[in-house]
Structure 1
Amino acid sequence: MTELTYVATLDVPVARLGEGLYFCSHEMALYWVDILQPRLFRQDLNNQSITIQEFDEAICWVNKDINGKLVIGCNSGIFHYSFKSQRKTLLWRNREVKNNVRLNDAKCDRSGRLYFGTLDNSETKAKGRLYTIDNSHSCITVDTGYTVSNGPAFNLSGDIIYSVSSTERTIYKIQYSKQHNAFSKSVFIKWPSSQGYPDGLTVDNQNNLWIASWGGAAVYCYSEQGKLVIKVSVPALYVTNITFAGPRLNDVYITSASHTMTETELTKFPDSGKVFHYKADNFNGVAETAIRYLPKS
């Protein structure tokens, strides 16, 4: 296994719970969120300027649809969002809010289907689910039984979904059959306790899976056979999400959290809650697919 050390800490505001990284290649812009101090960040990678917008509820992830519109996942549901007007337009309502369940993480598969997970806010009950929006614009359940759902990510051919049950320290491989619109699940990685808890993840152009480690101060890269090949040390204890960005998709960006930390932990990891960056040698990411199917508003 190769061990690497981070390169740079971005000069950005500290997040309580940084998450939801998304790179828009058309804009050459990086997006991320602070879920608990609800803010949406956009950084122009050409000039490094940052735009920040505050929200009145938890904002959990950000993406783009095929028309270039911003799509965000919030506590109460999924919305179109305009930076200019700061207006949210409801697309899908989270009816589990009353059960203390919120949205957590999301990505779009290779064919333009949005997948998103939910979690139990108390992180004690398996009330979370993994959902997708199918080509009839309906929201369907892919999997259940998550206390904290993270990911998902998709292999290059698009027939495997990697889905994380963080509290169980388990990364599942869910195989999708387009012909039968069916899913079958197996355990891909049983995460060792020495590495903290698996959190957000992404796939590179060699089908390797890159996984942020909550409590592990690192990102871990596994081959498609499940072999650990790279560890990237990060100067934050609670690492939450990772994405590839930049013109060659070899700029790696990593988010982190600060809200659960003790004074001793903050002294050891003073940059916790910031965004980190390094250049990946011999690895490139995969361009994001725009969302093709959204719930009908």
Structure 2
Amino acid sequence: MSEPSNVWDLHCELGEGPVWVGGALWFVDIKKQHVHRYDPATGAKRSWDAPEQVGFIVPEEGGAFVAGLQSGLHRFTPETGAFDLIAEMEPERPDNRLNDGVSDPAGRLWFGTMDNKEREKSGAFYRYERGAVVRTHIEGIAITNGPAVSPDGRILYFVDTLAGTIEAADIDRHGALGPRRPFVRIDPKEGHPDGPTIDAEGCVWISLYAGWETRRYSPAGELLQRVRFPAANITKIAFGGDDLRTVWATTARQLLKPEEIERQPEAGDLFEFRVDVPGVQCPLVAR
């Protein structure tokens, strides 16, 4: 495993949602309402403006992306920069927004909503499948993160950031979730669990907000590895490259005071490191 290196000093307010698609890394800055693309082979960097806060973009069949904007799911077309509404979400909760999402091997999209002020337990997790949105029984969360899905598509891992918990639930063949069960709890003194990502061995990588690191846990919940960064707020990682063994990590400046930014000037930047165990190729959302 290599040490993280800074590959894009773009100072995201809230970098999130990295995903490897078509030979490039895509990610978002939620608060600045940007979508970013980084091509490590050429060093090319490109950005798009989003019309609202954008929590994630996940690749879809046909070459577009499903984007989680504050108002709901949209189809993002990079060639035109257009965001077209797919499904409005929680219009009765105008203070909520979409935060994080992942696709599973069956082509479903799993995502969460949360209180934009990060206080009220108004968030819930949803499943989007071929045009239909279904609310799951996982709700009552202030800051949802993840979810992430095991390589075989049978387990959903999801995060309650303020509670410091990562939980799991089985996914049946119809996409219904079984009872939730504990997986890992992180002491808030060590940081707050943010985005989870799964590798090819089914291990769960958890990035820590205010924790200066990302951690690798076995499927049994045993802490296996830590990767430390020169920035406190690590939000999520993604595997990519030809062998899926290059890892990119998004970070954030949100809530940092000027003196804290002075001590960690790379906060909000994009980082890269190498690992021995590869990740899993991101499945396409079915249309």
Fold agreement, TM-score > 0.5: yes
1:179 CA drift (Å) = 5.5
Q: Render the CA deviation track for 1:86-142: whole Å, top value 9, x for unaligned.
A: 22211011234643000000000111100010111121111000000135x321112
Counterpart in the other structure of 1:190? 185
Question: Of 271, 274, 280, which residue of structure 2 is paired with 1:276?
Answer: 271
Q: How does 1:93-104 map to 2 (within 5 A)?
A: 93-96=88-91, 98-104=93-99
What amino acid is aligned across from residue 146 of structure 2 in structure 1?
G
Q: Which moved more, 1:72-81 or 1:260-269?
A: 260-269
What amino acid is aligned across from residue 89 of structure 2 in structure 1?
N
What amino acid is aligned across from residue 290 of structure 1 in structure 2?
L
1:183 CA drift (Å) = 2.4
CA distance in 2, matches of 1:284, 1:5: 14
What amino acid is aligned across from residue 90 of structure 1 in structure 2?
L
Judging changes above 3 Å, is the alpha-carbon distance between structure 1 residues 133 and 216 closer, same or farther for their aligned structure 2 residues? same
What amino acid is aligned across from residue 76 of structure 2 in structure 1?
Y
The answer to whether structure 1 residue 181 and structure 2 residue 152 are counterparts is: no
CA distance in 2, matches of 1:168, 1:97: 25
2:50–2:83 CA contact under 8 A, matched in 1: no
2:194–2:207 CA contact under 8 A, matched in 1: yes
1:214–1:239 CA contact under 8 A, matched in 2: yes
The answer to whether structure 1 residue 169 and structure 2 residue 164 are counterparts is: yes
Question: Of 18, 21, 41, which residue of structure 1 is paired with 2:36?
Answer: 41
CA distance in 2, matches of 1:231, 1:6: 11
CA distance in 2, matches of 1:44, 1:97: 39
1:77–1:103 CA contact under 8 A, matched in 2: yes
Q: How does 1:1-297 map to 2 (within 5 A)?
A: 6-24=3-21, 27-96=22-91, 98-134=93-129, 137-142=131-136, 143-178=138-173, 181-280=176-275, 282-293=276-287
CA distance in 2, matches of 1:268, 1:133: 41
Q: Which moved more, 1:267-276 or 1:94-103?
A: 94-103
1:28 CA drift (Å) = 0.1
Stretches of structure 1 that go unaligned for 5 or more consecutive residues are: none
2:155–2:170 CA contact under 8 A, matched in 1: yes
Q: Render the CA deviation track for 1:213-246: whole Å, top value 9, x for unaligned.
A: 0010000100001000100001111110111010
1:212 CA drift (Å) = 0.5
1:180 CA drift (Å) = 8.2
